[in-house]
Amino acid sequence: MKTTLRYTLCLLALLACMTNAWALEVESTSGGLEHLVSDHSVTTLKVTGTMDARDFKFIGYELTELTELNLAGVTIEAYSDVAHPLIGTTYTFESDVIPHNSLIGAKLENVVLPEGLKGIGQAAFAGNTALRSITFPSTLTSIGSYAFNGSGLTSVTIPEGITHLGEGAFAHCASLESVTLQGAVAVPARAFLGDVLLSAVTFAPGTTAIGDAAFTGCAALAQIALPATLGSIGREAFMESGLTSVDLSACTQLASIGDWAFARTPLTTAVLPATLASLGNGTFFYCDQMGDLVIPTSLTTTGDFLLAGAIGITRNDLLNEGMLTVGDYALYGLAQAKYFTIPASVRYLGERAMAGMTGLDTIYVSAAPARLGENVWDGVNQPEVTLYTPTDKMSLDYGKLDQWREFHIVMDYLLGDVNGDKDIDVLDLNAMINYLLGVEPYIFIFPAADINASSDIEGSDLNSLVSKILTGERVIARRVRGMGDNAPLYATTTDVVTVEPLTINAGARRTLDVALTALEHSYSALQADITLPEGLHFVGNATGSERTNRHTVASNCDDRHARIIIYSTDHATIAGSEGVIATLNVEADSRFIAGEPIAVSDVVLATADDEKLLSDNTWAEVATTTGVADLSEATWRVVGAQGEIVITGDAAEQAQVVMLSGAHTTVDLQPGENRIAAEPGVYVVRLAGHSHKIIVR
């Protein structure tokens, strides 16, 4: 029994000695830590007092078994000895900063940093593969380059006070899964390079830049929400990451994306902001799962290798109007694209720009041939690919040039699109009339004009074209940007087509006058769409006026919608500068509500020399003959002001405010002046049996 007791006491004494060897708490003065720790096998160390670079060097170089380091009670002092460099060639060290390289390669698992710490030096904790987490004090402002490179951190929260984050600060952290940046610090180059498990990154609002290779190789990073304040994405920023989609449409301050930024990622879709000014080479290089991409019209060049190897792309409108240069190998290997449109603005296709597009069967062009680099369509069976052009002359031009001539070249046309502008309107009518009069139009596509397929252009084709225009799809006239400049393809004019205000009762029939104000130009033809409010209907077709007695007036009326065209078979201009040009009959039923507008839209005006001009939409009010529109009888005054509707009266009342879209709201009015906030536009205010049409500026 005594032997057992003696053995137990010896074992406890030994354990006590071992505990003292493994765990130690000391109060230090700067430079004196090595004198307080005699057993270098200590695993847990808590230090209070003061330390400087000499003490950190001692910990990093001598305490090789240390796993727990608590510096909560430490003040770090400056140190300098110009005669004896301490770490590398450095002999001067700042206060409140953990010295660079001081703890590199340590076995540390847990570290408690002191409050008051301002900086962590370059590579200070690099290679600390056992370090799983660390909490940064609120006083920290700087994390040096490669400070935690190759460490074992699993999550990181970078506090708001950080103003400097060094290059590669958390690179090659093989266990890092999440990062939260609480402050708007720029993400530096290689910050998270090679962090293969990183799957969640949260940015602070205000972040402006992501540096070169910041997230390269982050294979688990499938989704990322980038801040709207982002101004630049660096070279290779997300290369070989796990991103499956990226939407930058909200990043309206993003000016540039660097070379290879998303190369070799599993992206399926990418949306770029409309304000983007620069897109680097190889941005989506070998993104072989990419199925959709929208390239903004702000870009005039694709750069080289933009989508090389993105074999999933099928869309034909990758290149927007305004694109001038398609870089070398830009679309290389897009084998699933069957047809492709080359915008009129493109002036150069780079070397092998469309090589390997083996699925192509159709290419559309609409302008003179672009200059070509070498072997633009290398690997494409060009004789089996049809190249469509809008005119015979253009077909001949393409057929004269190397690389282009290898295609099967034919002319493309839309039946009725006589002038080749992809619209069927009164401009085509003018062109056909010119042709019939023996005046050769500037552009005339014979097959498109031969609507009746008689191999001749005759009166029946003219009648068929009129019918096509009248019964064609109701679309807004296109205001398409021209070849890389800011001018619209079609000019606009302040001249307008309007309808005169109308007064009518339910069950009555009235004449609706269509007027033209032509102060800027003289017109030989026009077309316009007229839409009636609910309760009004067209009766019969349009007739001309004295101003258009040398013209043909044709219309297609369908209940509340009418398309009217006016043209001259001898190219006469419409007489006078103002006044009625046509009339239509309308009838009201019981659903008619006074104050609703008649809309005139989709106005196309043609001058005698075939210039096409577009005019703004107009409206006119419809009233009843019962005095509803007579505001002098009303006890309320309704006016439109800047950004508001002002209603003044002497009693409490309810008013209904109706927008042209049909949306409406009910407002409770008090005696006196009532101000109602409103967006600019045209409104109808229904109040006490009256309707008031007003305009808010």
Residues 129-154: pLDDT tens digits? 999 999 999 999 999 999 999 999 99
- Residues, the chain, total? 697
The pLDDT of residue 455 is 66
DSSP string, 546-615: GGGTTSEEEEEEETTEEEEEEE-TT-PPPSSSSSEEEEEEEEE-TT--TTPEEEEEEEEEEETT--EEEE
Distance CA 164, CA 182 (A): 13
Residue 128 has pLDDT above 50, yes or no: yes
Residue 608 pLDDT > 70, yes or no?
A: yes
* Token pair of 379 as six digits: 């690997």
Closest CA to 290 of 274, 277, 271: 271
Cα–Cα distance, 208 to 226 (Å, whole number): 10
**How would you label 237-252 residue by residue, b for 16+ Cβ within 10 Å and e otherwise?**
bbbbbbbebbbbeebe
Residue 687 confidence (pLDDT): 81
Tell me what the mean pLDDT of segment 98-126 comes to: 97
pLDDT at 617: 85
DSSP 3-state assignment of 142? strand
102 contacts: CB under 8 Å, gap ≥ 6? 53, 56, 57, 59, 60, 87, 121, 124
For the chain, which domains are there? 1-153 (3.80.10.10), 426-471 (no CATH), 491-623 (2.60.40.680), 631-696 (2.60.40.3770)
Q: What is the pLDDT of residue 442?
A: 61
Output the pLDDT for position 485: 35
Structure-block tokens of residue 532:
């009636």
Structure tokens at 126: 């690099």
Distance CA 644, CA 642 (A): 6
Q: One-letter amino acid identity for 203? A: F
Q: What is the DSSP string of 164-211?
A: EE-TTTTTT-TT--EEEE-S-PPB-TTTTTT-TT--EEEPPTT--EE-
CA angle centred on 557, ends 554 and 559, rounded to 5°: 170
Predicted local distance difference test score (pLDDT) of residue 161: 94
Burial of 35 (C-beta count, 10 Å sphere; 0-12/13-18/19+): exposed
Which residues pair with residue 247 across a beta bridge?
A: 271
| Number of neighbours of residue 213 by Cβ within 10 angstroms | 27
- DSSP letter at 686 equals E
Q: How confident is the model at residue 620 (pLDDT cuts 50, 70, 90)?
A: confident
> Does the pLDDT value for residue 323 go beyond 80?
yes
Per-residue confidence (pLDDT) for residue 53, from 0 to 100: 97
Enter the DSSP assignment of 234.
Answer: -
Q: What distance in Å separates the CA atoms of residue 571 and residue 523, rounded to the nearest whole number?
A: 9
Of 197-201, 259-263, 294-298, the one with minimum mean pLDDT is: 294-298
Q: Is the pLDDT of residue 48 over 90?
A: yes
Higher per-residue pLDDT: 334 or 686:
334
The answer to whether 59 and 47 are in contact (CB under 8 A) is: no
Whether pLDDT at 376 is above 60 = yes
Pairwise pLDDT comparison (223 vs 619), residue with the higher score: 223
Give the mean model confidence (pLDDT) for residues 596-612: 86
| Mean pLDDT comparison of 258-272, 615-629, 649-663, highest-scoring range | 258-272
Give the residue among 642, 679, 672, 673 at the shortest CA–CA distance from 657: 679
Whose tokens are 């698992």? That residue is 109
Mean pLDDT of 95-105: 97
pLDDT at 253 over 50: yes
The confidence score (pLDDT) of residue 391 equals 78
DSSP bridge pairs for 26:
47
Q: Report the candidate in 399, 290, 282, 276 with the shortest Cα–Cα distance to residue 337.
A: 290
Give the whole-angstrom CA distance, residue 120 versus residue 129: 17
| Beta strand extents in 31-120 (DSSP E only) | 44-51, 68-76, 79-80, 92-93, 97-98, 110-112, 119-120
Look up tokens 């339910």; give the residue.
Answer: 506
- pLDDT at position 473 is 54
Mean pLDDT of the chain: 87
Q: What is d(CA 375, CA 363) in angstroms, rounded to the nearest whole number?
A: 17
Give dist(CA 661, CA 682) in Å, integer.
10
Cα–Cα distance, 268 to 249 (Å, whole number): 16
CA dist 400 to 8, 105, 297, 355, 406, Å? 104, 69, 31, 21, 10
pLDDT tens, position by position, 394-429: 888 999 999 999 999 887 677 888 877 778 888 888
Run of H or E including 12: helix 2-22
- In this predicted structure, the answer to whether residue 288 has a pLDDT above a threshold of 50 is yes
pLDDT at 189 over 80: yes
Ranked by mean pLDDT, the top range of 108-112, 443-447, 515-519, 566-570 is 108-112
Whether 599 contacts 625, CB under 8 Å: no
**Overall average pLDDT of the 446-459 stretch:** 77
What is the largest distance, in Å, between two alpha-carbon atoms of the chain?
Answer: 135
What secondary structure, in 3-state letters, does 108-141 show? CCEEECCCCCCEECCCCCCCCCCCCCCECCCCCC
Condensed to tens digits (0 to 9), the pLDDT of residues 151-187 reads: 999 999 999 999 999 999 999 999 999 999 999 999 9
- Per 3-state DSSP, what percentage of the chain is helix, strand, and coil (rounded to 5)? 10, 30, 55
> If 0-12 CB within 10 Å is exposed, 13-18 middle and 19+ buried, where does residue 98 land?
buried
Grade residue 364 by pLDDT with cuts at 50, 70 and 90. confident
DSSP-derived secondary structure letter, 481: B
Q: Where does the pLDDT of residue 348 fall: very low under 50, low under 70, confident under 90, or very high at 90 and above?
A: very high
The answer on pLDDT for 386 being more than 80 is yes
Top pLDDT among 480 and 436 is at 436
Can you tell me the distance from the alpha carbon of 475 to that of 498, in angstroms, rounded to the nearest whole number?
19
Contact 345, 324 (CB under 8 A): yes
Name the residue among 405, 584, 383 with its Cα closest to residue 502: 584
- Mean pLDDT, rounded, for 613-627: 72
E strand or H helix that includes residue 143: strand 142-143
Better-predicted residue by pLDDT, 595 or 403: 403
Alpha-carbon distance of 185 to 167, in angstroms, equals 12
